[in-house]
């Protein structure tokens, strides 16, 4: 689908030389779905650290601030319809992004800001606590939509763990964004995993089979695809189903090939028209009438 230049998405995350994580996954997905993309790197790595030692080039705060100043003052800034932030290299990056989003919303009140708080997993934080705290304090409160995994949500809410979907719902509601998509939720099907989405009075769970040894980058991909579906005007339930099916299909195919990375270039069709089956469930939401 051809889109207007005013449908541009600004993606701010990590960049790897080899692989399909961070900006490499998000930009590919959004452009494949027809969205113009502006991309800003926060940190450059040779490859994902999970593959071994990788040299890190973190964009210094002063230089990052200048990048942000240029974007705010750009004659084309009106083109930006949404902002997606992911992995950050410092707490200064979080503050600069908050300043950017505030400035863009002043010009375009309907701007959508998706905050993917990439801070950790079941093993704990893998960014400095100061960076995680800055994301929690400066970015999550201004997000239109947040996409933490279950373990990141627990940290953001100050609880040791979230062991049921009821606990996930309560934690998500306490955090604040009007929309929240929580990955690695508790599946009701055996051997599965789920994405739990909350908006208004609705709580939806999309489940699929858990893929062993899944490549990295699934969270980056899901955030980008879900954002694209929302921007297309798709209703929440359909957007959740389609984006979950896309990610599951690409992960399953990548795993079958024995790939250590998401094979996005071979699975572009899964972005537009995923065929994988996803189990959709409606969960109890505290705001719903009994």
- Is residue 266 situated within a structural domain? yes
- Is residue 54 situated within a structural domain? yes
The rounded distance, in Å, linking the Cα atoms of 94 and 61 is: 10
Strand partners, 192: 209
Q: Report how many domains make up the chain.
A: 1
Q: Which H/E stretch holds residue 255? A: helix 236-256
Which domain range does residue 147 map to?
Answer: 5-283
- Is residue 290 situated within a structural domain? no
- Is residue 147 situated within a structural domain? yes
- Is residue 44 situated within a structural domain? yes
CATH of the domain at 76: 3.40.1190.20
Structure tokens at 8: 């541009």
pTM of the model: 0.95
- Is residue 288 situated within a structural domain? no
Rounded alpha-carbon distances, angstroms, from residue 51 to 19, 140, 151, 213, 215: 10, 30, 22, 13, 11
- Is residue 134 situated within a structural domain? yes
The rounded distance, in Å, linking the Cα atoms of 46 and 67 is: 22
At 278 the three-state DSSP class reads coil
Show pLDDT as tens, one digit a residue, over the chain (290 residues): 556 677 999 999 999 999 899 999 999 999 999 999 999 999 999 998 878 788 889 999 999 999 999 999 999 999 999 999 999 999 999 999 999 999 999 999 999 999 999 999 988 999 999 999 999 999 999 999 999 999 999 999 999 999 999 999 999 999 989 999 999 999 988 889 999 999 988 899 999 998 888 888 899 999 999 999 999 999 999 999 999 999 999 999 998 998 889 999 999 999 999 999 999 999 988 876 54
- Is residue 165 situated within a structural domain? yes
């Amino acid at each position: 689908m051809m889109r207007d230049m005013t449908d541009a998405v600004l993606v701010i995350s990590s960049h790897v030389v080899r692989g399909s994580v961070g900006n490499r996954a998000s930009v590919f997905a959004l452009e494949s779905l027809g969205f113009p993309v502006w991309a800003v790197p926060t940190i450059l790595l040779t490859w994902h650290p999970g593959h071994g030692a990788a040299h890190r080039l973190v964009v210094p705060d002063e230089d990052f601030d200048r990048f942000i100043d240029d974007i705010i003052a750009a004659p084309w800034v009106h083109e930006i319809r949404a902002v997606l932030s992911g992995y950050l290299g410092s707490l200064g990056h979080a503050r600069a992004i908050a300043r950017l989003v505030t400035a863009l919303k002043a010009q375009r009140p309907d701007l959508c800001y998706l905050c993917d708080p990439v801070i950790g997993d079941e093993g704990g934080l893998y960014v400095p606590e100061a960076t995680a705290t800055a994301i929690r304090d400066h970015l999550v409160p201004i997000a239109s939509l947040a996409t933490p995994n279950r373990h990141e949500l627990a940290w953001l809410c100050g609880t040791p763990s979230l062991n049921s979907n009821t606990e996930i719902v309560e934690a998500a509601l306490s955090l604040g964004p009007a929309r929240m998509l929580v990955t690695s939720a508790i599946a009701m099907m055996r051997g599965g995993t789920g994405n739990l989405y909350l908006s208004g009075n609705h709580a939806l769970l999309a489940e699929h089979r858990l893929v062993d040894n899944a490549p990295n980058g699934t969270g980056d991909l899901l955030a980008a695809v879900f954002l694209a579906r929302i921007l297309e005007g798709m209703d929440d339930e359909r957007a959740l189903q389609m984006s979950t099916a896309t990610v599951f299909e690409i992960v399953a195919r990548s795993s079958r090939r024995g790939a250590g990375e998401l094979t996005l270039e071979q699975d572009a069709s899964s972005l537009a028209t995923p065929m994988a089956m996803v189990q959709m469930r409606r969960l109890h939401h505290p705001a719903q009438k009994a």
